[in-house]
Structure 1
Amino acid sequence: MKRLAIACLLILLPAAVGAAPACGNTAAGFEAWKAGFATEARRAGVGTRGLQALAQARYATRTIAADRNQKSFRYSLEKFMQLRGADAIVAEGRRRKARDPAFYASLERAYGVPSGVLIAIHGMETGFGRFMGDSPVVSAITTLAYDCRRSDFFVPHALAALTLVDRGEISINTRGARHGELGHTQFLPGNALTYGVDGNGDGRIDFYDISDALASTANFLHRKGWRPGRGYQPAEPNFAVIRQWNAASVYQQAIALMAARIDR
């Protein structure tokens, strides 16, 4: 039934997005936009809890500031890796792999994705879970859906976030990154809804649980076309899949390089 509900939501999203209320570039119109967006959310199948979360969402000024100032992706690869602490990520990544080889091997068996890739993403995104964000997810993602800069991109993620609230997987109090990303590997809500996996078998999907988060990350890469046993450096088959995870070229190259060092 859960899969059927998700499928129905995704079918309804295009119609909902097409009829979305007008975007804005300041906080002034956010409350009026929410009122209109609630109608579209209801039409897309969002229930009572999701609509209540939307009503409680606040315009996220820090999210807008972060969205306008993404400087790190403009650096050279060398500078980017230095700023992100690539050597430290590799060193800790190797320790993690050595400490729990069965866990990472099980993910590779299930999804075909090498340990190094998952570990590098985990380290890059949140420092292995040390900082998973301090922004209210629902407020952040609805603010971006309202903001004119990339409204079309974020509206489906906002609807997905409200659906995750309905399902009890997040709440109005859940905190994540400035763009509304969730958990250990920073899933956008739409991707969380589509690719989330119950990695530890407890009957729920929790992106703040490392098993669920890494299984979901592996599932994302697998379903995006990861080819087991093939390379993932630039010009190799699986590098195109890493590009599906993050659109920034410097990020993609950094993940590939760190993953190879971890997997040595």
Structure 2
Amino acid sequence: MLAATPLSACADAPAMSARPGARAADPDLVPRATAGWSAWVASFKGRARSAGIRADVIDAAFRGAGFVPGVVARDRNQTEFRRSFEDYLNIVAPESKVEAGRAAFARQRRALAAIEARYGVPAEIVCAIWGVESNYGQRRGDIPTISAISTLAYDGRRGAFFESQLIAALRILQAGDVAPDRMVGSWAGAMGHTQFIPTSYLQSAVDFDGDGRRDIWGEDPTDALASAASYLAGAGWQRGATWAVEDPSGGLTPDAGGPSFRTGPNFRVIKRYNNSDSYALGVGHLADRIAGGGPLRASFGPDRFGMTKDQRQELQRRLTATGFDTDGTDGVIGPKSRAAIAAFQRSRGLPATGDPSLRLLAMF
């Protein structure tokens, strides 16, 4: 992994891999060979050969590949908006994910124990990363990695970075760890159960099950889980040290008025996987819950709209019951909830701000 780069490609968000079937549902995620992309690829192939990639590997990798317009749209539409820690935690560590994590941990208990014995990273931390990155393997992504990364390299916003990832992806193919048609992942090129970008894969991926391939893409998550532990161990994980503990006098308070934490040395190691305080806290808290721990002791206060989580959930329930579907009642006011609020506001002749409020709740 490059020192300044998160292992998974989107540092401030939970795993954003495409859901199964996303390409079929969204034509903008289907690769297409445009003139500009094809010209760029023709030029890139010479640079790839100079970097030691065999011509047959390059040809196989780009056979059927193309420009993916939806990838560019997602890259350009990343905003500066940052979720509150409460919202982030509601997304990455809700009760449903805790329960699923305990079940996944039980299924992989033997492999996780062996991985912990070798690398010193607690099994629950590895399992939590798996949960945050791909929902325990359910959201590994299905966008062809060569198409996604070459699109971003050609687009040019971070051209040098993505060209280095493209070279790394070709090295993975050249090593025979995966076939080109199985190398799929998120729109930003993060792959497999634990969402490795190609350079991080080359640095830290391991063949833990001994089948001769470092397979992070298949149904068996063993190599991916071991690779995540390998990465954290290489980043300086300290056996027996803490990641963080909830402490009213702790030095880290992500949300004003919310829980505070006293962080330990392994907190910084988790941030090497994804350079975000919320990410490290989310992984650590989910790991504690998977291991049998309880919810955070401190409560979160009202949000910037003056609403608590219970009030936001009640607003979502009432909107959905009235025909304005919020696509869930998790208390997170995301795009679907904002669209439902705006539609309700228009139906009442109000300015369509999409903002929740206690006044809006009282209208039902």
Shared fold (TM-score greater than 0.5)? yes
Q: CA deviation at 1:123?
A: 0.9
- 2:211 matched to 1:177? no
Tell me the matched-pair count.
Answer: 238
Bigger Cα Rg? 2
User: How big is each residue's C-alpha offset from its partner over 1:20-51, in whole Å with a ceiling of 9 and x where there is no partner?
Assistant: xxxxxxx6632222112111111111112331
Q: Which has the higher helix share?
A: 1
Aligned twin of 1:42: 49
Aligned twin of 1:104: 112
**Equivalent residue letter for 1:139:** S
- 2:165 matched to 1:157? yes
Unaligned runs of 5+ in 2: 1-33, 245-261, 293-364
Q: CA deviation at 1:99?
A: 4.2
Contact 1:113 1:222 in 2 (8 A): yes
**Equivalent residue letter for 1:89:** K
**Higher RCO (CA 8 Å, separation ≥ 6 residues):** 1
Q: CA deviation at 1:119?
A: 0.8
User: How big is each residue's C-alpha offset from its partner over 1:72-110, in whole Å with a ceiling of 9 and x where there is no partner?
Assistant: 971011112223453222222223333443321111110
Aligned twin of 2:211: 202
Aligned twin of 1:143: 151
1:238 counterpart SS class: helix
**Aligned residues with identical type, % of pairs:** 39
Contact 1:49 1:166 in 2 (8 A): no
1:251 counterpart SS class: helix
Contact 1:73 1:250 in 2 (8 A): no
Q: 1:250 to 1:71 in 2, by over 3 A?
A: farther
* Aligned residue runs from structure 1 range 15-30, under 5 A: 29-30=36-37
Q: TM-score, normalised by structure 1?
A: 0.83
Aligned twin of 1:7: none
Unaligned runs of 5+ in 1: 1-26
Contact 1:56 1:172 in 2 (8 A): no
Contact 1:145 1:155 in 2 (8 A): yes
**Distance of 2:107 and 2:65 partners within structure 1:** 41
**Distance of 1:72 and 1:84 partners within structure 2:** 20
Q: CA RMSD for the aligned pairs?
A: 2.0
Contact 1:89 1:123 in 2 (8 A): yes
- 2:226 matched to 1:215? yes
1:35 counterpart SS class: helix
Aligned twin of 1:94: 102
Q: TM-score, normalised by structure 2?
A: 0.61
- 2:188 matched to 1:186? no
